[in-house]
Amino acid sequence: MKVQLARAEGGNMPDDIIIRFKSLTLAFIFTLMLVTQLFSFEKLPDILSQYQLFDASSSRLTAALIVIFELATIPALLHIPLSRLARLVGWVSGVVTLLFWLIVNIRVIGVEPNFTSGVFGKILPLQSGWQSVIYIFLALGIYVVLLVRLKAYQRLKR
């Protein structure tokens, strides 16, 4: 019996300059989020627990999952050769990450405006409130437009 491994697909950056620009911009944003959260990772559970949405143990788990999801997003954004499943996991993890930060920051707006939003850990202080919600909402919008445009581009290339 022959074992068949998943075949890597993609790997070529699309010819469309708009898709390239959006992909690289989002890859930069996710890399910046990942690096700043990792530099202050020991404080990230404290940031999450200040929102009073998580207790101490679940905030540690949530912090680890958020960092893993951000890391999983970057290869898909850079169009590195991946299997279909890995590419899908990358795209979905990006949406989950941005939705998580959007929901948490919207939830906290009325509670306390002086919390650090946690999007960039403690390194780059982005205060929770409308500023962080608008930033995350714009990133999510660009991400969704990129996914739609990339899907349309792939249909045209067939």
Higher pLDDT residue, 98 or 11?
98
Q: Report which of 120, 122, 131 is spatially closest to residue 66, judged by C-alpha positions.
A: 120
Encoding tokens for residue 69?
Answer: 């999801």
Quick one: pLDDT at residue 89? 93
User: Which of 11, 63, 77 has its CA nearest to residue 34?
Assistant: 63
pLDDT band at 106 (very low <50, low <70, confident <90, very high): confident
pLDDT at 116 over 80: no
Q: What is the pLDDT of residue 13?
A: 62
| Strand partners of residue 82 | 9
pLDDT (mean) for 94-120? 80
Contacts 24+ apart (CB under 8 A), 62-67: 63/37, 66/37, 66/97, 66/100, 67/34, 67/37, 67/38, 67/41
Confidence band, pLDDT 50/70/90 cuts, at residue 90: very high
